[in-house]
Amino acid sequence: MVTGGPDDLVGATDPSGPTTVARSVDGVDVPRARAAVRELLLAVGEDPDREGLRDTPDRVARAYAETFAGLRQDPTQVLSASFDIGHEEMVLVKDIEVYSTCEHHLVPFHGVAHVGYIPGPDGRVTGLSKLARLVDVYARRPQVQERLTAQVADALVAALAPRGAIVVVECEHLCMSMRGVRKPGSRTVTSAVRGQMRDSATRAEAMSLIIGR
């Protein structure tokens, strides 16, 4: 897994950016991203050389490296730290903040995720923070909410072999708020339910824990 920081710094001079140019940040080809952002600014009728925009292609390239860092992260590594505490009842972490990017418009969608599971017969659990990290791995990619929800549930099942798992994601999509149909405040709710969590009583228990604020 790649962590933060420039992978390679060269002292090159670029007419559209700062003197020291990061060639690659977290695996993102920065010169290429810079050139693309500059083109976009030109395409919408802006002047990328005016003072306020001069460093924008570089900033956006670095911001994208962070926004899409999940493309280069391995969810199995995130969940590798599991431990046996003999707990066989439901574990649920709710209201995990989600910031992701709609793959159709490349604008954010944001909200919360609730991630729960029932450990397998071995009582193996993972660290609570790892559930939030798992959400981030899949959120920091160009995404649709349904896939994000299913990927988190499936990664949990693959790594922990739990009896059951549930993931509920509630997000507002800025592509529906700030443009397009322009319906600010609408929230999309998606769920992925696996294994014993599909049983109606268990599912109802999980949902009541999620809904009960």
Ligand X SMILES: Nc1nc2c(ncn2[C@@H]2O[C@H](COP(=O)(O)OP(=O)(O)OP(=O)(O)O)[C@@H](O)[C@H]2O)c(=O)[nH]1
Residue nearest to ligand X (CB): 180
102 annotated among ligand-binding-site residues: yes
**Cα separation, 157 vs 136, whole angstroms:** 17
Burial of 105 (0-12, 13-18, 19+ CB in 10 A): middle
What span, in angstroms and rounded, lies between the C-alpha atoms of 50 and 48? Answer: 6
Return the number of the residue (36 or 175) whose C-beta is nearest Zn ion: 175
Answer for which of 105, 110, 133, 203 binds Zn ion (CB under 5 A) is: 105
Q: Which is nearer to ligand X, 173 or 194 (CB)?
A: 173
Q: String of b and e for 158-172 (b: at least 16 CB within 10 Å)?
A: ebbebbbbbbbbbbb
Choice between 149 and 202, CB closer to ligand X: 149
Ligand-binding site membership of 105 (annotated): yes
How many C-alpha atoms does 90 have within 13 Å on its Cβ side?
23
Stretch that binds Zn ion, among 17-25, 43-51, 100-108, 149-157 (CB under 5 A): 100-108
Burial class of residue 142 (count of CB atoms within 10 Å of its CB; 0-12, 13-18, 19+): middle
The listed partner (Zn ion, ligand X, none) that binds 144, CB under 5 to 8 Å by sort, is ligand X
- Binding-site member from 69, 102, 137, 168 for Zn ion (CB under 5 A): 102
Q: Which residues bind ligand X (CB under 6 A)?
A: 102, 104, 144-146, 173, 175-176, 180-181
3-state secondary structure 66-126: HHCHHHHCCHHHHCCCEEECCCCCCEEEEEEEEEEEECCCCCEEEEEEEEEEECCCCCEEE
- If the CB atoms of residues 78 and 98 are measured against Zn ion, the closer one turns out to be 98
Tokens of 76: 């199995």
Q: Is 171 annotated as a binding residue?
A: no
Quick check: 175 binds Zn ion (CB under 5 A)? yes
Residues labelled catalytic: 102-105, 145, 173, 175
Would you count residue 147 as binding Zn ion (CB under 5 A)? no
Residues that bind Zn ion (CB under 5 A): 102, 104-105, 175
Provide the annotated binding site for Zn(2+): 102, 105, 175
